Structure 1
Amino acid sequence: MELESSRLKIIPCTKETVQIAINQNYDNGPEIYNHLKHLMEDPSLFYWGSWIVMRKSDGVIIGDLGFKGKPDVNKTVEIGYGFLEDYWNNGYATEAVGALIQWAFSESKIEKVKAETLKENYGSIRVLEKLHLQKVDETETVFHWELSKQ
Structure 2
Amino acid sequence: MISTARLDLVPLSREMMRALDNDRARFAELLDAEVAAAWPQADFAEVLPSIREWVERDRALEIWTYVIVLREPKRVLVGEIGYKGPPDSEATVEIGYALLPEARRNGYASEAVTALVRWALQRNDVLRVTAETVIGNDASERVLQRTGFRLIGIRSDSRWWEHV
Normalised by the length of structure 1, the TM-score is 0.89
For residues 34 and 135 of structure 2, the distance between their equivalents in structure 1, rounded to whole angstroms, comes to 34
Partner of 1:11 in structure 2?
Answer: 10
| Letter paired with 1:83 | L
Partner of 2:118 in structure 1?
Answer: 102
- 1:89 is aligned, of 70, 88, 105, to 105
Q: How many residues align?
A: 146
| Letter paired with 1:123 | A
User: Given that residues 121 and 127 in structure 2 are in contact (C-alpha distance below 8 angstroms), is that contact kept between their aligned partners in structure 1?
Assistant: yes
- 1:55 is aligned, of 62, 67, 70, to 70
For residues 97 and 145 of structure 1, the distance between their equivalents in structure 2, rounded to whole angstroms, comes to 13
For residues 34 and 64 of structure 1, the distance between their equivalents in structure 2, rounded to whole angstroms, comes to 15
| Letter paired with 1:12 | P
| Letter paired with 1:27 | P
Partner of 2:62 in structure 1?
Answer: 46
Q: Secondary structure at the match of 1:110?
A: coil
For residues 36 and 12 of structure 1, the distance between their equivalents in structure 2, rounded to whole angstroms, comes to 12
- 1:80 is aligned, of 96, 110, 113, to 96
Compare 72-81 and 16-25 and name the one that shifted more.
16-25
- Bigger helix fraction: 2
Normalised by the length of structure 2, the TM-score is 0.82
TM superposition shift of 1:32: 4.3
For residues 10 and 143 of structure 2, the distance between their equivalents in structure 1, rounded to whole angstroms, comes to 20
**Deviations, residues 68-89 of structure 1 (Å, cap 9, x unaligned):** 0110111110000011011111
The percentage of aligned residue pairs carrying the same residue is 29
TM superposition shift of 1:23: 6.5
Partner of 1:120 in structure 2?
Answer: 136
Structure 2: give runs of 5+ residues left out of the alignment.
21-26
**Deviations, residues 47-100 of structure 1 (Å, cap 9, x unaligned):** 12x201000111100000100011011111000001101111110000001100
Displaced runs of 4 or more, over 3 A:
31-34
Q: Secondary structure at the match of 1:120?
A: coil
For residues 91 and 32 of structure 1, the distance between their equivalents in structure 2, rounded to whole angstroms, comes to 25
TM superposition shift of 1:27: 2.4
TM superposition shift of 1:43: 2.0
Compare 53-62 and 18-27 and name the one that shifted more.
18-27
